[in-house]
Amino acid sequence: MTLDLDIPWTEKYRPVSWNDIVSQNIAINNLKDFVKSGNMPHMIFTGPAGTGKTSTALIIAKKLLKKENYYRDLLELNASDTVRMSYVRRVLKAFVNQNMNPGEKNLKIVILDEADNIPNTVQQALRRIIEKTSSSVKFILMCNYINRIIDPIISRCAVFRFVNLSKEKIKERLIYVAQREKLHIPEDKAEKFFNTLFFISGGDLRKAINTLQMSVALELSGNIEINEILKISGFLDEPTLENLIDAFQAKDFKRARNIVNSFKSIDSRNFIRQILGVLPRIKSIKSKNLTILRAYMGDIDFRISQGADEQIQILSLIAEIVDNVNKL
Ligand SMILES: Nc1ncnc2c1ncn2[C@@H]1O[C@H](COP(=O)(O)OP(=O)(O)OP(=O)(O)O)[C@@H](O)[C@H]1O
Ligand SMILES: [Mg+2]
């Protein structure tokens, strides 16, 4: 069988029914019951990327809307485009006000993606739309950060928190995709391969499936070049990581800096996550200093997320680690 690499596997394997959703917590199971009962509140799905929010919303729409009216009764909007916010509002108003046959109370669903990107003033307008809309229109808002949604909207919705998927769940789904795609992954290497994909994904199933597909496209999975996969995904490969740990151990700032500088495709936040994982392997750091370093890494990660110069921050991190190492 030839591999079909044209369609992204994340789309090919987008869950189409509840059974496909790699369920993550009790809240999601409750959600099913809500939908079954037909008495659905407005909802907010919040949580990290690639954990099933959009997929779940689409499954709900498919279950509740009549097939023949699906496209008429479902409005999918992405709010990230704030320039066109007035457009979003106009479309939204037209949709919820659309004349329905008198007496007919068919359900309509509005899926509003990336709602946390809507400026607060516009959220106020949205809140009024939600308030005024007839009870047969249900809103599903999606966001990564619920603290960016204004309280009056939150209080009108049932909030469902999606979480990063566990190693077991990610592996389970990856193995499913691998089987469906008839991938040949040598048995003795499968465990390490899937563990690496999980590490790279950080619990984001979309990223995990994308990395799997990329490895296959680059023919890395047949002979499982874990180090290549790590590098392509913006992480240090294992030999480099070992070298770096050695340099830290030797309290050798220059060497550590050179190793990091030689690594062109480094992604600073990935780097931090990777170093955080191996800190305990640097034997000569006292446990008290480990705690300080971890806190410091949190700061660095935050600064980078706020736009600080990545190279300076990474250098600062290296200096701090070296500083906390006791010469053996
Ligand atoms: N819980 C899950 N069960 C099964 N597949 C999933 C799950 N979460 C994510 N996926 C896979 O990742 C893809 C993207 O998922 P989805 O669009 O639902 O994520 P999302 O939570 O809406 O992310 P974002 O916050 O980036 O919009 C899906 O097409 C599917 O292949
Ligand atoms: Mg989404």
* Ligand lying nearest the CA atom of residue 46: 1
For ligand 2, a single-atom ion, the residues with CB < 5 A are 53-54
Residue 86 host element (H or E): helix 85-97
**2 backbone dihedrals φ, ψ, rounded to 5°:** -80, 150
Residue 138 Cα, ligand 1 centroid: separation in angstroms?
21
314, pLDDT greater than 50: yes
3-state secondary structure of 108: strand
d(CA 107, CA 286): 61
What class, spelled out in words, does domain 238-323 have in CATH? Answer: mainly alpha
Residue 22 Cα, ligand 1 centroid: separation in angstroms?
9
Where in the chain do CATH 1.10.8.60 domains reside? 167-232
Q: What is the pLDDT of residue 14?
A: 94
* Ligand lying nearest the CA atom of residue 14: 1
Q: What is the pTM of this model?
A: 0.85
Q: What is the pLDDT of residue 285?
A: 87
- Contact (CB, 8 A) for 235 and 270: yes
Residue nearest to atom 18 of ligand 1 (CA): 52
Residue list, ligand 1 pocket, CB within 6 Å: 10-11, 13-15, 20-22, 49-55, 144, 162, 173, 205-206, 209
Residue 80 Cα, ligand 2 centroid: separation in angstroms?
11
- Contact (CB, 8 A) for 192 and 226: yes
Specify whether domain 167-232 bears CATH 1.10.8.60.
Answer: yes
Q: What is the pLDDT of residue 312?
A: 93
Residue 279's Cβ-count burial label (10 Å; 0-12, 13-18, 19+) is middle
- Contact (CB, 8 A) for 137 and 112: no
The structure tokens listed for 14 are 């987008």
Residue 207 Cα, ligand 1 centroid: separation in angstroms?
9
Where in the chain do CATH 1.20.272.10 domains reside? 238-323
Tens digits of per-residue pLDDT, 29-71? 788 888 887 778 999 999 999 999 999 999 999 988 988 889 8
Residue 187 Cα, ligand 1 centroid: separation in angstroms?
27
Which one of 206, 207, 209, 212 would you pick to mutate in the ligand 1 pocket, going by the greatest count of ligand atoms within 8 A of its CB? 206
Query: In CATH, what is the architecture of 23-161?
Result: 3-Layer(aba) Sandwich (3.40)
Which one of 7, 14, 19 would you pick to mutate in the ligand 1 pocket, going by the greatest count of ligand atoms within 8 A of its CB? 14
Residue 154 Cα, ligand 2 centroid: separation in angstroms?
18
Tens digits of per-residue pLDDT, 56-111? 999 999 988 988 889 889 999 887 765 566 777 788 888 887 756 655 678 899 99
Residue nearest to atom 12 of ligand 1 (CA): 206
Q: Which atom of ligand 1 is nearest to the CA of 24?
A: 1
Q: Per-residue pLDDT averaged across 181-192, rounded? A: 87
